[in-house]
Structure formats: C-alpha cells, structure tokens
Amino acid sequence: MDFKLRNKLSIISAVLLSILQIILLKEFFQAGLSALFCMSNSSFNFSFPYFAYYFEPEGDASILELTLLYFAPYIYLVLSVEVASILIKKIPQGAGRFFLVVFILLQIGYLLVHIFYSAVILILNPGIENDWIALSLYLGLGDIERFIFAFGVIFLFVFYLNMSTKRIMQYINY
C-alpha cells in the first residue's frame, strides 16, 4: 500500500476512534464508576453531538468518590493517552505509530479545550449544568472557592498536558 494512503487511513482511523471515545466511551467509563460506587438515579442523555451521563450522588458519598465520579471522563481520556503513549514506544515507525501520534494529539487537544471551557462556565455562568458545577455545588463552594477550584484543576491538567506533549514530540518528525 502506498505510504500516503496508509497515512491517510491512519489519520481517518485516529479521528474516528477519538470521536468514539469523546462522544461515548468516556461516558460509559463514568457510568461504570457510578455503578461501582452504587449511585442512584442515573441516566444517559443524548444532547447533540454527544452522550451525557447524569447521576445523583448518595448522601453518604465521600468527597473522594464524588471527585472520581465527576472527573471520570477526564481520567478516562488521560488513561487512554497514557496507554497510547506506552504503545507508541513498543510499535516500530510506520502507520501504527502515526495513528497513535494523531490519536494522542486529538485527545490532548480535546482535553485542553474542554477543561478551559468547563472552567470558564464554572466561573462565569454556574447556571449551566456540567460536572464541575455539580461537584462545586455538592461541596458547597462559594464564588471565590469555585474560582480557586477551577484554577487548580486547570493548573493540574495544563501541567499534565505539557508533560504529555513534550513526551510525544520525540515521535513527531519534522
């Protein structure tokens, strides 16, 4: 098969797998964790262009459980980036490695955009439903605490994304 054709197929495959993970699989991961922690009143909703999983926390749920549940989609995406990073070291240069590089870059890009979007929504308009707002309301955070919470989460994820990007740069040929 032609080199350019293999690269095009790798790009298309990476984009399709990234879309599948972003739209569906991260929510299934959150649903699995929710079932593990025995949360009630849960449901899947489809709001174009993705599925959303909603649950009501139990009264006796710990802060650690809730944090894991509300950040489960991000944890899933970080785990997928880490698994792809491990696989990229094992696969020789070619279409497979090209697929993994594109896949990792798409996941990192989505994480970056979604985290900043969620933080801005948390700070500016807490009336919109998302996981960060639900967690901040359950924890009873005020306006200043929500700002500090959003800044801390952004700092942690930007630090992680910076490390991941530096790690992946060695596999990109200029």
pTM, 2 dp: 0.86
Reported as a pLDDT band with limits 50, 70 and 90, residue 119 is confident
**Which residue did the predictor score with more confidence, 60 or 154?**
154
Kindly report the number of other CB atoms within 10 A of residue 5's CB atom: 10
Residue 53 has pLDDT above 90, yes or no: no
Closest CA to 12 of 130, 106, 82, 125: 106
DSSP character at residue 47: E
* pLDDT of the residue at 16: 95
Q: Domain map of the chain by residue range?
A: 3-169
* pLDDT of the residue at 174: 57
Reported as a pLDDT band with limits 50, 70 and 90, residue 126 is low
